[in-house]
A and B are shown apart, each in its own frame.
Chain A
Amino acid sequence: DGGITQSPKYLFRKEGQNVTLSCEQNLNHDAMYWYRQDPGQGLRLIYYSQIVNDFQKGDIAEGYSVSREKKESFPLTVTSAQKNPTAFYLCASSIAGGGTDTQYFGPGTRLTVL
């Protein structure tokens, strides 16, 4: 079964703690993305990567960090510098990141910071 997995589904953390969200895909896609969704808002791009060991900031990268050491994995760390970390986080992947590539999404992780 090919797809994108995100774990865990729900995550709770205390304020001031860093937390890492997992994203794995077995679609053999080169490009991977992290989005954030808040109520009443569209999806906002945090970071994206089009190739292993390379990534770029999206529209709202402040307070977040990523790594891309393997093609299949693109973990997102929400640091204590992120002012409003409580949100629904979505990971996506696409074949190469350009042209008419379609992005496919994982099931999401809801992060709540207490």
Chain B
Amino acid sequence: DQQVKQNSPSLSVQEGRISILNCDYTNSMFDYFLWYKKYPAEGPTFLISISSIKDKNEDGRFTVFLNKSAKHLSLHIVPSQPGDSAVYFCAAKRMFGNEKLTFGTGTRLTIIP
């Protein structure tokens, strides 16, 4: 049972345009969400997070939006740069208690120069 889903395995975006990566979750108990970026043969690096008390969090070129009623979150990258080409993982957990992270299957983003 995939509780965190990233339905687009890949996405190509022109350099300078906006990249939008989507993530859906089924477990309504999840209240903390994270995005990680991963280059090939490297470990994921933390990008940005959001708790369920917010619907938006921004950090520079990266913005995460959370729609709790739709159980959907998205990561916006603007403007997209060649170094953004990587696999992006969405992850979710419950904030309270010692709950583990549940990861999505990832979306490979390719920025076209």
- State the A residues within 8 Å of B (CB): 4, 6, 9, 33, 40-45, 48, 50, 58, 88, 90-92, 97-100, 102-108, 110
Contact = CB atoms under 8 A, between A and B. Distances in A.
Interface residues of B, number: 25
B2 to A, nearest CB: 8
Contacts of B97: 98
Interface residues of chain B: helix, strand, loop or mixed (majority): loop
Nearest to B104: A42
A100 to B, nearest CB: 6
Nearest to A94: B101
A4 B46 CA distance: 14
Contact of A42 (B4, B45, B95, B98): B4
Interface of B: 4, 9, 32, 34, 36, 41-46, 49, 51, 89, 95-101, 103-106
A14 B105 CA distance: 29
A9 B42 CA distance: 10
Contacts of A102: 34, 46, 49
